C-alpha cells in the first residue's frame, strides 16, 4: 500500500499539470467511440435478424388473426372476409331492402284495355313471383319453389320446363338457378340479416289485347355461412366467415286478367328470363348456388370475366347465364 503523503503529493502535481484538461477530454472521446462501436454492432445484428425473418417467412398477410383484432370489425378493410357478425360489411347492399313488403311497385295506370286496378293486380302478382323465387326462406334453404310455380300459367310450356329442370338438373340447359335461388341445406345456410334486394319494375301493353307486359330488373345479395357452425373461421379469433353471392335477374312477365285461347286468366307467363351470377361455381349444376369462400377463391380456376356485380347500367345478354368473378361483393 502506498504512503498517504506520497499519494496526496501526486494528486497535487496532477492538478497543476497544464495538460490535465486535454488528457481528460481525450479519455472521454475514447469512451464515446467504444460505446458507439458496441451499439453499431448490436444494430447490425438486429437488422440482420429482421432481414432474415422477412426473407425466410415472407410478408405477413393483412388478414392474419392478430391484424384483425387490432381493429373494430366495422373498420376492417373491404378485402377482408365478412363474418356472421356483420354479413354485409363493406357491401353497398348493406342499406338495401331486406324483404318482400319493401319492394316498391310503380303506380298502376290504365294501359290498353286494362284498367288501373287490373294493372295493379298484375304488378302485385309479378312481385309475388319475384319474392317466391328468390326471397322465400324455404326456397333459399333448398326447398321446392311451389308458390312461384303456382303463379305461372300451367297451360304454357315454361312451367313444365322449369319443373323438369328442378327434377333433373344438369348441363347444358337444365339449370334451375335460371329462375330460382336455392342453396344446398347440407352445405350452406343464409346468415342472419344476410339477404338484400334492390330493383325496379315497369309495365306496358302486351302484344295482344288484354295483356300486360311487365319487366322486372332486380339484384339480390346473399351472405352465406357453412352449415356446420364455425367450420369456416373468419379473419379474427372466434369469428365465422360468410361468402356473398350476387344474383341479378331480368324478367319479362306477361299477365292477362281475362282468359283467352291458350292462356289462364290471372296467371303469369315467363316470356324472357336472364341472369348474371357473381361468386358462384358455374361449373356445378345441381339446382343450387355454390359460392366461393375466401380461401377457395384464391386457388380456384374461375375462367369468367371480372365484373362489378352492382353495376345495373347494362343489359344482361341473352342465352346462357352470365357467370362472373365479382370485383367486389
- Rounded to whole angstroms, the Cα distance separating 310 from 196 reads 12
Residue 64, pLDDT score: 60
DSSP letter assigned to residue 315: P
Residue 293, pLDDT score: 96
Q: Where are the beta strands (DSSP E) in the chain?
A: 188-205, 212-226, 243-255, 268-278, 306-307, 322-326
Mean pLDDT rounded to a whole number for the chain:
85
Best CA proximity match to 145, nearest among 162, 157, 158: 162
| pLDDT higher than threshold 70 for residue 190 | yes
Residue 238, pLDDT score: 87
Task: Give Cα separations from 323 to 151, 246, 287, 315 (angstroms).
Answer: 28, 11, 15, 14
Confidence of residue 301 (pLDDT cuts 50, 70, 90): confident
Task: Give Cα separations from 290 to 299, 303, 319 (angstroms).
Answer: 15, 16, 21
User: What 3-state class would DSSP assign to 110?
Assistant: coil
254 touches 203 (CB < 8 A): no
Residue 118, pLDDT score: 97
Confidence of residue 173 (pLDDT cuts 50, 70, 90): confident
| pLDDT higher than threshold 80 for residue 62 | no
The cell numbers describing 3, all together, are 504512503
**Percentage of residues of the chain with pLDDT beyond 90:** 61
Best CA proximity match to 127, nearest among 200, 180, 62, 45: 200
- Rounded to whole angstroms, the Cα distance separating 89 from 82 reads 6
Pick from 50-59, 96-105, 240-249, 263-272: least confident = 50-59
| pLDDT higher than threshold 70 for residue 156 | yes
| pLDDT higher than threshold 70 for residue 33 | no
- Rounded to whole angstroms, the Cα distance separating 319 from 253 reads 17
Residue 234's CB is within 10 A of a number of other CB atoms, namely: 24
Could you tell me the strand order of the sheet in which 188-205 lies? 188-205, 212-226, 243-255, 268-278, 322-326, 306-307
Residue 158, pLDDT score: 96
**Percentage of residues of the chain with pLDDT beyond 70:** 78
Neighbouring-strand partners of residue 197: 97, 220
Q: Pick the residue with more confidence: 61 or 248?
A: 248
- Rounded to whole angstroms, the Cα distance separating 135 from 166 reads 17
Best CA proximity match to 320, nearest among 217, 178, 181: 178
Residue 296 C-beta-side C-alpha neighbours within 13 Å: 14
113 touches 209 (CB < 8 A): yes
Confidence of residue 121 (pLDDT cuts 50, 70, 90): very high
Residue 26, pLDDT score: 66
pLDDT, one tens digit per residue, over 214-260 is 999 999 999 999 999 889 999 888 899 999 999 999 999 999 998 77
- Rounded to whole angstroms, the Cα distance separating 54 from 50 reads 6
User: What 3-state class would DSSP assign to 318?
Assistant: coil
Q: Pick the residue with more confidence: 136 or 18?
A: 136
Q: Name residues whose C-beta falls within 8 Å of residue 124's C-beta, 6 or more positions apart in sequence.
A: 105
Residue 56, pLDDT score: 47
Q: Pick the residue with more confidence: 262 or 163?
A: 163
Give this prediction's pTM: 0.79
Confidence of residue 53 (pLDDT cuts 50, 70, 90): very low
- Rounded to whole angstroms, the Cα distance separating 162 from 269 reads 12
Confidence of residue 67 (pLDDT cuts 50, 70, 90): low
Amino acid at each position: 500500500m502506498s504512503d498517504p503523503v506520497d499519494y496526496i503529493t501526486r494528486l497535487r502535481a496532477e492538478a497543476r499539470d497544464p495538460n490535465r484538461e486535454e488528457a481528460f477530454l481525450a479519455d472521454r472521446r475514447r469512451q464515446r467511440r467504444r460505446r458507439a462501436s458496441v451499439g453499431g454492432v448490436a444494430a447490425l445484428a438486429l437488422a440482420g435478424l429482421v432481414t432474415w425473418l422477412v426473407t425466410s417467412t415472407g410478408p405477413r398477410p393483412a388478414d392474419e388473426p392478430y391484424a384483425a383484432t387490432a381493429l373494430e370489425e366495422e373498420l376492417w378493410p373491404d378485402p377482408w372476409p365478412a363474418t356472421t357478425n356483420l354479413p354485409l360489411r363493406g357491401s353497398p347492399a348493406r342499406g338495401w331492402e331486406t324483404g318482400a313488403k319493401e319492394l316498391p311497385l310503380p303506380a298502376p295506370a290504365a294501359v290498353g284495355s286494362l284498367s288501373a286496378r287490373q294493372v295493379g293486380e298484375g304488378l302485385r302478382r309479378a312481385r309475388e313471383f319475384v319474392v317466391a323465387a328468390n326471397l322465400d326462406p324455404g326456397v333459399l334453404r333448398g326447398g321446392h319453389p311451389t308458390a312461384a310455380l303456382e303463379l305461372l300459367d300451367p297451360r304454357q310450356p315454361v312451367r313444365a320446363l322449369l319443373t323438369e329442370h328442378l327434377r333433373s338438373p344438369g348441363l347444358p340447359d337444365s339449370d334451375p338457378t335460371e329462375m330460382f335461388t336455392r342453396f344446398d341445406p347440407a352445405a350452406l345456410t343464409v346468415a342472419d340479416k344476410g339477404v338484400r334486394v334492390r330493383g325496379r319494375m315497369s309495365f306496358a301493353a302486351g302484344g295482344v289485347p288484354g295483356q300486360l307486359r311487365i319487366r322486372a330488373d332486380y339484384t339480390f345479395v346473399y351472405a352465406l355461412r357453412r352449415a356446420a357452425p364455425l367450420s369456416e373461421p373468419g379473419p379474427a379469433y372466434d369469428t365465422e366467415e360468410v361468402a356473398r353471392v350476387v344474383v341479378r335477374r331480368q324478367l319479362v312477365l306477361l299477365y292477362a286478367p281475362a282468359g283467352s285461347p291458350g292462356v289462364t286468366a290471372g296467371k303469369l307467363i315467363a316470356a324472357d328470363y336472364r341472369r348474371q351470377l357473381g361468386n358462384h361455381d358455374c361449373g356445378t349444376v345441381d339446382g343450387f348456388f355454390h359460392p366461393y369462400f375466401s380461401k377457395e377463391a384464391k386457388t380456384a380456376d374461375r375462367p369468367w370475366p371480372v365484373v362489378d356485380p352492382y353495376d345495373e347500367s347494362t343489359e344482361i345478354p341473352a342465352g346462357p347465364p352470365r357467370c362472373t368473378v365479382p370485383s367486389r361483393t
